[in-house]
Amino acid sequence: MMRALVPWDGLAPAGIRADVYDDAADVSDVDCFVLPYPQATALPLIARMPRLRYLQTLYAGYDDLLPLLPAGATLCNGRGLHDASTAEHALGLILAAQRYLPTWVRNQDRHEWRQQYTASLADSTVVIVGYGSIGQALGRRLVACEATVVPVASRPREGVHGVAELPALLPTADIVVLVLPLTSATDRLFGADFLALLRDGALVINVGRGRVLDTEALLAAGGRIRAALDVTDPEPLPADHPLWNLPGVIITPHVAGGSATFYPRARRFVAEQLRRIVAGEPLHNVVLGPSIVSF
């Protein structure tokens, strides 16, 4: 019988011996590994799994797993699981920044009643860079808030601009949202040149990967550009890092995807993936390796 290491009880159908993740357990006979969330501390286990044939991450990004995957094994990602959570968080960051919520919270801490005119989301132009499933989920929410959405993907398609068009699009943006994976093409893609194209006071949101946005370039902008970041470079952000104190910056500690919505969806997804393995059916979200895993 094949053995799976999984994050939660009650997921596996008959035909799989499923054990809940334990980083101290003997994993030499594990065939399927569903990484826990968050997954960083579990990654060293992969090297101790000589029989591993199927690796499932609950993140959409998988760049850090490629060097660890054994030859011939199948890797599936968690595309779609974080759409609602991450889109909500990005929308929350936008609203917090536009309506100056950090200012009001700090004033409340000091028991100060200070009124101030704020920016708005309605009637703003929002450029979403990375128009996959998360970007599209955010786009629907922004339209409901009466914003104008300008979608951008790596290559143009009907109704979606290509990334090569960013130099023409950025000067029109009130808000730019980065929802990009980290690849050789996106590493520090949003640097000094792109930031210079933004109008004073424009807002940059990053809910993708920290290194997509050049931290040094953002610091050099000296507060001319506002930012709300769920991901940073470096990460975790050191306590003495100047980004903490940069004017106009909101920082959350890489928590966009981990809301209450995520976990039940992830459980259903993993249970279905394991059922498909037993049934010999094609798997969802295959990013590397065969789509049907046989044991």
pLDDT over 90 (residue 1): no
When divided into structural domains, the chain yields a total of 2
Task: Identify whether 155 is part of a domain.
Answer: yes
Task: Identify whether 293 is part of a domain.
Answer: no
Domain holding 153, by residue range, is 83-251
65 and 138 together in one domain: no
113 and 63 together in one domain: no
216 and 121 together in one domain: yes
**Measured distance between the N- and C-terminal CA atoms of the chain, rounded to whole angstroms:** 9
97 and 167 together in one domain: yes
pLDDT digits (tens, 9 = 90+) for 279-295: 999 999 999 999 988 77
Say which of 106, 146, 157, 235 is annotated catalytic.
Answer: 235
**Is 272 noted as a catalytic residue in this protein?**
no
182 and 38 together in one domain: no
Task: Identify whether 295 is part of a domain.
Answer: no
pLDDT over 90 (residue 94): yes
Task: Identify whether 239 is part of a domain.
Answer: yes
73 and 97 together in one domain: no
**Is 3 noted as a catalytic residue in this protein?**
no
The mean pLDDT of 169-195, rounded to a whole number, is 95
69 and 118 together in one domain: no
70 and 113 together in one domain: no
228 and 91 together in one domain: yes
**Is 254 noted as a catalytic residue in this protein?**
yes
Give me the pLDDT at residue 47, please: 93
pTM: 0.87
Task: Identify whether 294 is part of a domain.
Answer: no
Say which of 3, 209, 211, 226 is annotated catalytic.
Answer: 209
140 and 269 together in one domain: no
Say which of 82, 89, 211, 254 is annotated catalytic.
Answer: 254
pLDDT digits (tens, 9 = 90+) for 216-266: 999 999 889 999 999 999 999 999 999 999 999 999 999 998 888 888 999
171 and 217 together in one domain: yes
Q: Percent of the chain, pLDDT > 70?
A: 100
Instruction: Read off the CATH number of the domain in which 232 is found.
Output: 3.40.50.720
Give me the pLDDT at residue 275, please: 94
217 and 207 together in one domain: yes
